[in-house]
Amino acid sequence: MCGCGPAGSISGVTELQILDLTKEYRGGKRAVDSFTLTLRPGVLGLLGANGAGKSSLMRILATVTRPTSGRVLWEGVDITRRPGPLRRAVGYLPQDFGVYPQLTAREFLAYLAAAKGLRRRSARARIEELLELVNLSDAAGQRLGAMSGGMRQRVGIAQALLNDPALLIVDEPTVGLDPEERLRFGSLLSGMGAERIVVLSTHIVPDVAATADRIAVMGGGRLLHHGSTEELLLSAEGSVWELTVPADQLPPLRSRFLLGGTTRTPQGVRARVLSRHAPAAGARPVPPRLEDAYLLLTADRSATEQVAAW
């Protein structure tokens, strides 16, 4: 990746403001519900289960769809009223990224570069740079329809970077990538966050832990938590326990408590129990992992909703 700043320079672009944003679909389903957050340069990991509202939020930020209410401000400008400035500055990889199967990777990127207004000579150099970056130089002449899902995903990553965007939005970008490619992509995003806003939306907690400066957790369309990795871990402090039980006692334990994982040992099943209180005599507290904090946060919300419904 070139060391130059993003297209148009982000000097002066200090933040993207999301203000009381709501997206409601037919039938009253709220995919995004009163969501407020301010984004500044760095990598934000947007974490949430499938159906949490992440993709709907990403589509609004990329100006693909309009919100029902609320505002998004880019450089102080409402993107619903004036989407042009943000569209010129954004790179977007949607979860359902589509391709033209008859085109080669190089042809596809050239087509999108022209659509984005890149000059032919600079576009050609940029395309070769990105093909190398995503490890597709040797497959650049291969038709997209013949590529594996992981290879097509890498083409999607390349197209999102064509205009060296000031705001990069990637929705579930590591789907279909092997572990080595996931590490490579995470390292790329980490480096880009120093000079632009990067939003990484995923349900894969390790991807966020390895890449993001800050984490926002969504559930039911709402923002449940926003802060550093350390702050999210701190929220789970004192709520993670290890307990070894006979194998036949695992189902009752699972019915009563949220489990963060189990390991079979000669002494029985060692369970990682997530609970605000000690689950049983003999349980010992252990340091939380990011997955533990995420599960506790979303489970607490589910329990609150069940009580309210009852």
* pLDDT tens profile 170-221: 998 887 778 887 887 788 888 888 789 999 998 888 888 888 999 999 999 9
In-domain check, residue 5 = no
In-domain check, residue 258 = yes
E strands along the chain, which residues? Answer: 16-24, 30-39, 42-47, 69-74, 77-78, 90-93, 167-171, 197-202, 214-219, 222-228, 240-245, 258-265, 268-274, 284-285
Give the rounded distance of the alpha carbon of 54 from its chain centre.
8
Residue with tokens 């390895």: 210
Amino acid 3: pLDDT: 39
In-domain check, residue 147 = yes
Helix axes 179-192, 149-160, angle to 10 degrees: 10
pLDDT tier at 37, thresholds 50, 70, 90: very high
Alpha helices by DSSP H, listed for 161-246, are: 179-192, 205-211, 229-235
Domain identity same for 137 and 175: yes
Give the rounded distance of the alpha carbon of 103 from its chain centre.
28
The domain total for the chain is: 2
> Mean of the per-residue pLDDT values for the chain?
88
Check whether 254 has a pLDDT greater than 80: yes
Domain identity same for 77 and 53: yes
Q: Are the C-beta atoms of 240 and 286 separated by less than 8 Å?
A: yes
* Residue where a domain terminates, one of 164, 188, 221: 221
Q: Are the C-beta atoms of 287 and 242 separated by less than 8 Å?
A: no
In-domain check, residue 11 = no
Domain identity same for 178 and 32: yes
* Residue where a domain terminates, one of 187, 221, 255: 221
pTM of the complete model:
0.84
Q: Residue 262, SS3?
A: strand
Q: Which domain holds residue 170?
A: 16-221
Domain identity same for 244 and 198: no
Question: At 149, which amino acid appears?
Answer: G
- 143 DSSP assignment: B
Q: Are the C-beta atoms of 293 and 235 separated by less than 8 Å?
A: yes
Domain identity same for 264 and 293: yes
- Residues 194 and 43: their CA atoms lie apart, in Å, by 8
Amino acid 300: pLDDT: 59
Which CA distances in Å does 159 have to 95, 139, 153? Answer: 14, 15, 10
Domain identity same for 137 and 56: yes
In-domain check, residue 1 = no
Domain identity same for 88 and 166: yes
- The residue-averaged pLDDT of 297-305 equals 58
CATH number, domain at 105? 3.40.50.300
* pLDDT tens profile 61-95: 999 999 999 999 999 999 999 999 999 999 999 98
